[in-house]
Amino acid sequence: MAESAVAAWDREELGVVGEETRGGYELRHDAAELAFIGLAISSSGVWDGEEVVVDLDVVQIASALRAAW
């Protein structure tokens, strides 16, 4: 999951977001939350084998749980 979050943060989007459905908006929002967790991991995560430890605040923890769901 951590590697997916980092990949989401490193991803480049070149296209313009046009009109979207409610489902499309929610999917993009979830992807953004995952990307911000990737930023936290990239900035301050400490890898221990296949696990990573990173300090997250309460809002980020909620986002991580939603992204993992």
| Span 11-52, pLDDT tens digits | 777 777 678 888 877 877 777 788 888 888 888 899 989 898
- Please say if the pLDDT value at position 69 is more than 70: no
Q: Which stretches within the chain are classed as H helix?
A: 2-10, 22-44, 58-68
pTM: 0.64
The domain limits of the chain are 2-12+19-68
Higher pLDDT pick, 56 / 9: 56
24, two tokens: 């499309």
CA torsion sign for 9, 11, 16, 22 is negative
- Please say if the pLDDT value at position 54 is more than 70: yes
- Please say if the pLDDT value at position 6 is more than 90: no
